[in-house]
Amino acid sequence: MSASIVLFLMFVAVTLAITFWAARQHTGATSYFAAGRSITGWQNGLAVSGDYMSAASFLGIAGMIAFQGFDGFMYSVGFLVAYLTVLLIVAEPLRNAGKYTMADILAYRLNPRPVRAMASLSTLTVSTFYMIAQMVGAGALVSLLLKDSGIRYETAVTGVGVLMIIYVVFGGMLATTWVQIIKAILLLGGTLLLSILVLAYFGFRISAFFDAIGHVSYHQNGVLVTEDFLTPGLKFKPPYGALDLLSLGMALVFGTAGLPHILVRFYTVPDAKTARISVVWAMVLIGLFYILTTFLGFGAATIVGRDQISANGGTNMSAPLLAQDLGGDLFFAFIAAIAFATILAVVAGLTISASTSFAHDFYTNVIHHGRERAPGEEVRVARVTALVVGAVSILLAIVLGPNANVAFLVGLAFAVAASANLPVIVLSIFWKRFNTLGALAGLASGLLASIILILVSPSVMGVDPPMAANAVRHLIQRPALFPLENPGIVSIPLGFLGAIVGTFLSREPVHEGRFAELQVRGNTGLGAEKAISH
């Protein structure tokens, strides 16, 4: 088991070296917040992929497919198709008209202070939910994988948190970008290797592999059952399965284009054309990865088997256990180290985007009306915020404990992004009549609808049978009020509705000039923020 620690420490050493290199590059806001806008297309493609493919994807989807077959693969599909929204609608206008954050484009032609305040709140909400899920996942993973080496959950969480703070406080966007790139290469490499080994197990005959998937056996309540794992409907069952699936699809496809930590990466490239190319690179890599989850998940289902996985730590261990069965303890250590690196890279990405939003949107623009009182103040505030955000996440993760059911937090993050952020971004870019009250109402209604509906969903509310000892318990022990796990199908329309109704209720006059400016800038790149010259 200690081989995992050694490999992980090698990753940490390399990334710390990069952090200190990055810290000695040009200082200044553009350097800290946007890596000097010097990242190339393929680099940013890797960085976006790295930021996006979190432990939830790698471990979570493998686990879902291993336990419930085809339905888990629906997540994989949604995660990739979601990038079409980013490519066609959001990435280029954002890079052309904005500077450092998602709120830049919202505040463009609207009253900046209230809009930036709400957008900052939304960004912090999404990032916090995502982050807590990752931190708890990190701690839980360590306590499972390194049972024998005595590293406790609290130590693991603190370790990950401290490293993340170092990357962000000292290295800024340049360091976190390169951490993402390295992690993406490792993750893709490890997944490719694991997939090849799965195929090799079946003698490189795809037909044999899929034949085995059609006859997966495991014990359910002591009885041996055999199911066709390629059949849809094992997880999303009537009466609400179909609606839940649709809701999930909507949250993924609309939410990705509203995730602040993904959007902020498009400011790190020199121009909109590079941003577009980087999205396509990301789509190639992400698509490849999610197709390979077929081998990870179905491989774990057929080679390791549900029974084995349940006995050895549960669904999240599906991919590592597969690695162990196929490649021995060394390969297990490699995959485990990749899982840690994945979590670390993603939390760093979340922290930089949350602290950038606080410093640029809230501190400089809302509180100080867009003026820096001393040169370098914005960057200093961001560094301090990163420290605070890191410390709070460590504390929250320790308080929640390793058994907390936090998978719903990632789903919530997507739902909030889809319901609060995306409607306002789209309407801001395309609808001339859109105004400040519309933006505020849209952000508020999306935020509230998604949060409230998740709090009363089966993810949070449910009555557990009393026997479950170490298992995951619902936070509120009452029958769920809202039947769907994902609120997207209700909250996304509510977000749009709030934005539209708010617009019509307001008597703010239409700013033709500002809309014209946003249109021309967004579509031509005239006047876009440039890369700093070296």
Partner 1 sequence: MSEKLPRDSDSIDLTPEVGAGTDVAPLGHPTPKPSHERTADEERAGVDWQRLAATTEFQSLLRAKMRFVVPACFVSMIYYFALPLLVGYAPELLSRKVWGVLNVAYLFALSQFFMAWLVAALYIRAANRFDRQAKLIVEMAATHRNQGGR
Q: Point out which residues bind partner 1 (CB under 8 A).
A: 70-71, 73-74, 76-78, 80-81, 83-85, 87-89, 99, 207, 210-211, 213-214, 228, 230-233, 236, 241-243, 245-246, 248-249, 253, 273, 276-277, 279-280, 283-284, 287, 290-291, 512-513, 516-517, 519-521, 523-530, 533
C-beta of 281 vs 482, nearer to partner 1: 281
CB closer to partner 1 out of 234 and 501:
234
What gap in Å lies between CA 201 and CA 413, rounded to an integer? 38
- Which residue number, 239 or 466, has a Cβ lying nearer to partner 1? 239
The CB-of-529 to partner 1 minimum distance in angstroms stands at: 6
Closest to 64 in 3D by CA, of 78, 49, 75: 75
Looking at the Cβ atoms of 163 and 253, the one nearer to partner 1 is: 253
Q: Give min distance, CB of 277 to partner 1, in A.
A: 8
Within 10 angstroms of residue 398's Cβ, the number of other Cβ atoms is 18
Structure token digits, residue 474: 């619902």
Q: On the CB side of 387, how many CA atoms lie within 13 Å of its CA?
A: 8
Rounded to the nearest whole angstrom, what is the least distance from the CB of residue 271 to partner 1 in the complex?
10
Contacts of 436 (CB under 8 A, 6+ apart): 110, 111, 114, 115, 506, 508
Q: How far is the CB of 236 from partner 1 (least distance, A)?
A: 6
Closest distance of CB 193 from partner 1, Å: 21
Q: How far is the CB of 441 from partner 1 (least distance, A)?
A: 25
* Nearest-angstrom CA–CA distance, 106 and 368: 18
Q: Which is nearer to partner 1, 170 or 240 (CB)?
A: 240
* E-strand stretches of 216-356: 216-220, 223-227
Smaller CB separation from partner 1, 145 or 213: 213
Compare residues 310 and 523 and give the one whose CB is closer to partner 1: 523
**Could you please report the per-residue DSSP string of 457-508?**
STTTB----TT-SSS---SB-S--SS--S--HHHHHHHHHHHHHHHHHH--P
Task: Rank residues 208 and 384 by Cβ distance to partner 1 and give the closer one.
Answer: 208
Q: Give CA–CA dist 245/240, Å, rounded.
A: 9
Q: Which residue has the tokens 């990705």?
A: 256
Residue type, 337: A
CB closer to partner 1 out of 291 and 384: 291
- Long-range contacts at 156-162 (CB < 8 A, ≥ 24 apart): 157/394, 157/397, 157/398, 158/394, 158/398, 160/135, 160/340, 160/343, 160/344, 160/347, 161/135, 161/347, 161/390, 161/391, 161/393, 161/394, 161/397, 162/390, 162/394
Q: At its nearest, how many Å lie between partner 1 and the CB of residue 286?
A: 10
Give the nearest distance from C-beta 259 to partner 1 in angstroms: 18
Query: Which residues in 68-86 are b (16+ Cβ under 10 Å) and which e?
Result: bbbbbbbbbebbbbbbebb
Least distance in Å: CB of 22 to partner 1?
Answer: 25
Between CA 169 and CA 165 the distance in angstroms is 6
Residue 493, amino acid: P
**Residue 470 exposed, middle or buried by CB count within 10 Å (0-12, 13-18, 19+):** exposed
- The residue among 26 and 273 lying less far from partner 1, judged by its C-beta, is 273
Q: Is 331 exposed, middle or buried (CB count within 10 Å of its CB: 0-12, 13-18, 19+)? A: buried
In angstroms, what is the minimal distance from the CB of 77 to partner 1?
5
Write the DSSP string, 111-127: -HHHHHHHHHHHHHHHH
Comparing CB distances to partner 1, the nearer of 170 and 210 is 210
58 secondary structure, DSSP code? I
Residue 91 or 132 with smaller CB distance to partner 1 = 91
The total of other beta-carbon atoms located within 10 Å of residue 451's CB is: 18
Residues 284 and 8: their CA atoms lie apart, in Å, by: 27
Closest separation in Å from C-beta 85 to partner 1: 8
Could you tell me the smallest distance in angstroms from the CB atom of residue 300 to partner 1? 17
